[in-house]
Amino acid sequence: MHKNFKRIAIIGKYMNQSALQQMQADLADLARHLTAKNIEVWLEENTAQHAELTGYKTAPLEAIGNKVDLAIVMGGDGTMLSVARTIMNAEIPLVGINRGRFGFLTDLRAEDMLAALDRILAGDYQKESRMLLSASIHRARKLVYQGFALNDVVVKSGLRLIELQVEIDGKFVYKQRGDGLILTTPTGTTAYSLSAGGPILHPNLEAIALVPISPHTLTNRPITVNSASKIEVTLVQVDEAQVSFDGQFQIALEAGDKILITRAPKIITLLHPGEYCYFDMLRNKLNWG
């Protein structure tokens, strides 16, 4: 069902001042274009400040999702990942304009963004739900951190191999020595997981993939399980290791730490132009024939 978007947030690469200055003209064009359509425009406060855009309502990223019914994110996939995690509780759809490199998540081109957005605002769009992961770190039976990831949760060594034990739904799966383990959503299978030899999972699959990073035993292969699974990773032997969330936030780990990974209760909703095709996107981004 087509939703009539009346209040729209614009979020640029909000933590990078130089990037915002470089995309200033595009951000200004976008804000003016939406305003001319009688849409109430909100700017993320860092975006407004560093792109020198005045005359619009502003709010910090943590609050802006509760003030609008659609957010447009201009930047790369990293910006989209950060925005999605931060405003996921607002449960608003996101549209991505690519000003990065790959653009697996930010699929609108800056050159024709206004025409593409007009089609989306007119109801010519595809709505897509993306699952997230929730990961909690337990040390000596105490919760020390909980975070969320749209792409992946990665347990990774420092200088030396680490040994991990993996259990799924209370069942022992294996012990693994290597550089670490990637636990990825279907969205994340075109990110770090892909370079580690993991499978590409279509976004509409309800699944989590476990992809070893440089395993000492070559028979340790990727495993894909249902998204309802409860996965427990225990650090058996480690000199130095960390767990990261979408590659953007890291927590140091110790021997004996347990990481519980489950599907998060929230989802992220992406809007694509009506002609969007996931396989066309893969073929173009990965240079398939």
How does pLDDT run across 227-283, given as a tens digit for each residue?
999 999 999 999 999 999 999 989 999 999 999 999 999 999 999 999 999 999 999
Domains of the chain: 7-123 (3.40.50.10330), 132-265 (2.60.200.30)
Q: How far apart are CA 234 and CA 164, in angstroms?
A: 6
φ and ψ at residue 103, rounded to 5 degrees: 75, 40
How does pLDDT run across 181-212, given as a tens digit for each residue?
999 999 999 999 999 999 999 999 999 999 99
Q: Which amino acid is at 12?
A: G
Contacts of 86 (CB under 8 A, 6+ apart): 61, 62, 65
Q: How far apart are CA 259 and CA 125, in angstroms?
A: 38
Note the residue count of the chain.
289
Q: What is the pLDDT of residue 274?
A: 93
Q: How far apart are CA 126 and CA 123, in angstroms?
A: 9
Q: Which amino acid is at 247?
A: G
Identify the residue whose tokens are 């480690």.
238
Q: How far apart are CA 217 and CA 177, in angstroms?
A: 7
Give one word for 223, left, alpha or beta, with left for phi > 0 and alpha for psi -120 to 50: beta
Residue 223 pLDDT more than 70?
yes
Q: pTM of the predicted model, to two decimals?
A: 0.94
Q: What is the pLDDT of residue 40?
A: 97
How does pLDDT run across 21-30, given as a tens digit for each residue?
889 999 999 9
85 contacts 109 by C-beta, under 8 angstroms: no
Q: What is the pLDDT of residue 218?
A: 83
Q: Which amino acid is at 132?
A: L
Q: How far apart are CA 101 and CA 123, in angstroms?
A: 28
26 contacts 56 by C-beta, under 8 angstroms: no
φ and ψ at residue 69, rounded to 5 degrees: -115, 10
What is the distance of C-alpha 285 from the center of its chain? 17
Give the mean model confidence (pLDDT) for residues 209-229: 95
> Is the alpha carbon torsion for 207, 142, 240, 177 positive or negative?
negative
Single out the catalytic residue among 26, 77, 107, 246. Answer: 77
> Is the alpha carbon torsion for 188, 91, 58, 56 positive or negative?
positive
Q: How far apart are CA 77 and CA 202, in angstroms?
A: 17
How does pLDDT run across 55-110, given as a tens digit for each residue?
999 999 999 999 999 999 999 999 999 999 999 999 999 999 998 777 899 989 98
Q: 203 vs 4, 178, 257, CA distance in Å?
A: 25, 28, 31
257 is catalytic: no
Give the mean model confidence (pLDDT) for residues 129-139: 98
187 contacts 208 by C-beta, under 8 angstroms: no
Q: How far apart are CA 138 and CA 142, in angstroms?
A: 5
